[in-house]
Amino acid sequence: MIKRIHHIGIAVRNLKDSVAVYEKMLGNRAHIEDVPCQQVSEAIFRFGDEAEINLLEPMGPESSVAKFLEKRGEGLHHIALEVDDIDAELKAMQKKGFQLIDEEAREGVAGRIGFLHPKSAGGVLIELVQPRQEGEN
Ligand code: CMX
């Protein structure tokens, strides 16, 4: 089951500069985290239990976000939807005809994640995320 929008990912060239802009806009401080498995540095803006805004700066030229910035410039990179069972949802999406980037869920910042290809989702990269429960590593 899809429960809510978990976060919106925005690709930026310079995290420090963009954090300053978003902190000014949102009146909120970001939590900064490097995510080597996704090759990005992230600034995470939380609003209680509501959807987050995540700014993504590539860690190197091989990062998929670096390729995105080169082709499309800064802007909306992906929308993440929270699900209660990532394995079941990935299978269900594939059955419904969506092209999976991840056949199997992998570990992400917030929990177990899997991506749907933007080509099968109206040009938007969709991430499914099953958040880690408190106490889980
Ligand atoms: N949103 C919409 N379209 C996108 C896209 C995105 N984020 N990224 C790529 N595309 C488009 C490209 O513009 C291109 O379109 P055209 O063929 O019309 O030119 C097409 O998809 C293929 O793109 P590409 O540059 O050739 O890139 P790849 O096929 O090598 O990879 C993708 C694309 C989506 C499979 C890859 O970026 C991926 O696996 N992404 C998932 C992982 C990820 O993005 N992680 C970032 C951090 C996430 C996090 O921490 O939350």
> CB of 58 closer than 6 A to ligand 1?
no
| pLDDT for the residue 102 | 97
Q: How confident is the model at residue 137 (pLDDT cuts 50, 70, 90)?
A: low
The DSSP 8-state label assigned to residue 100 in this structure reads: B
Report CA torsion sign: 46, 47, 51, 55.
negative
Average pLDDT over residues 35-39: 91
- The protein residue whose alpha carbon is closest to atom 43 in ligand 1 is 64
Shortest-distance Cα residue to atom 44 of ligand 1: 64
Residue 39 has pLDDT above 70, yes or no: yes
The predicted model scores a pTM of: 0.95
Q: Whose CA is nearest to atom 37 of ligand 1?
A: 64
Q: Among 64, 70, 74, 78, which is best to mutate for testing ligand 1, by the most ligand atoms less than 8 A from CB?
A: 64
